[in-house]
Amino acid sequence: MPLFKGLRRRYDLDLQFSYRSLGLVWAGVALHLLLDYATTRGVPLFFPFQSMRYSADLFYQIEPMVLVSTILILVGLLYSRPAIYRKKNLFIVFLIFLMLVGGIRMEGKMAAEEEFAGMNASIYPMPGLFSWAALQEEGDSYLISSYDLVNGTASSGQAFPRLTAPSQIKEAEEALNAAEGLSPVKIFRWRAYAVAVNASLSGNGSWYIEYYDPLVRAQRDGSWSFLRPPFRRYGSLRVAVQGGIARMAE
Could you read off the pLDDT tens digit of each residue along the chain, which spans 250 residues?
454 455 455 555 555 667 777 787 888 888 888 888 888 778 888 887 888 888 888 888 778 888 888 888 777 777 766 666 677 777 788 888 888 999 999 999 999 999 999 888 999 998 888 999 999 998 899 999 999 999 998 987 789 999 988 876 778 888 999 999 999 999 999 888 999 999 998 877 789 999 999 988 887 765 444 455 544 557 889 999 988 899 998 7
Asked if 90 and 77 count as a contact pair (C-beta separation under 8 A), the reply is yes
Half-sphere exposure of 249 (CA within 13 A, CB side): 16
The pLDDT of residue 142 is 94
Q: Is 34 exposed, middle or buried (0-12, 13-18, 19+ CB in 10 A)?
A: exposed
Q: Would you put residue 42 in left (φ > 0), alpha (ψ -120 to 50) or beta?
A: left
Bridge partners, residue 198, by sequence: 164, 210
Give this prediction's pTM.
Answer: 0.77
What CA–CA distances, in Å, run from 161 to 45, 46, 48, 195?
Answer: 32, 33, 33, 10
Amino acid letter for position 206 = S
